[in-house]
Amino acid sequence: MRIIKLNNQIKKRFIFLLIIFACFSTSIFLISYSLKDQIAYFVEPTDLKSMEGIENRYLRVGGLVKTNSLKFLDGNWVFEVVDQNQNSVNVVFSKTLPNLVEENKGIIVEGKFIDNIFVAEIVLAKHDENYMPQSAIDKLKEEGKWRGN
């Protein structure tokens, strides 16, 4: 087997590449760190409490559709978006909901606060990372381990 000596030329090239890589990764880190509020796709109802001037500002709020809150009233969908800290936002939506919007499932609403009610213009269903067939759920329910609805 041939043994490669780490000569000066190779060392120089290695340091050159290391400097390039370090500079770029630092700059990308700094950019994404300072823009982290813009990169985040949505805010949770808990984050809204500490935000100022949310009235009439276009934003996205994400969370779960609260159980027993999804209703169809006067041609509008009315529901509450809740997060794990049990803070919630009342939402009104006047168009057709996506197929997979259900109670106790993830949702993202896009729109504005008008008189403390969130008037949504776009509603997206947020899928979680769980994939399982109905038979596996039936089995979990039999064992009493199922936590969903």
Partner 1 sequence: MFAITPNTLSNFMISVSRYVILLSIALISVSAFLIIFLENDYYQGVSFKIMFIHVPTAWLSLSIFLVMGISSIIGLIFKSPTAFTVARSLSPIGLIMSIIVLVTGSLWGNLTWGAYWVWDARLTSMLILAFIYLGHILLLYSFEHFQKADFAASILAIIGLVNLPIVKFSVDWWTTLHQESSVLRMGGPSMTNDYLITLFVSFFGIFMLTIFWFSNIFYIIVEKRKMERSILLND
Site for partner 1, rule CB under 8 A: 2, 4, 10, 13-14, 17, 20-21, 24-25, 28, 32, 36, 39-44, 62, 98-100, 102, 105, 108, 122-137
Closer Cβ to partner 1, 112 or 126, answer by number: 126
94: left (phi over 0), alpha (psi -120 to 50) or beta: alpha
Dig out the tokens for 68 from the structure: 């027993």
CA nearest 107: which of 137, 115, 99, 52? 99
Dig out the tokens for 77 from the structure: 């969908």
Closer Cβ to partner 1, 49 or 127, answer by number: 127
Q: How far is the CB of 80 from partner 1 (least distance, A)?
A: 19
Q: Cα(80)–Cα(103) distance, rounded to whole angstroms? A: 10
Closer Cβ to partner 1, 78 or 110, answer by number: 110
Q: How far is the CB of 68 from partner 1 (least distance, A)?
A: 19
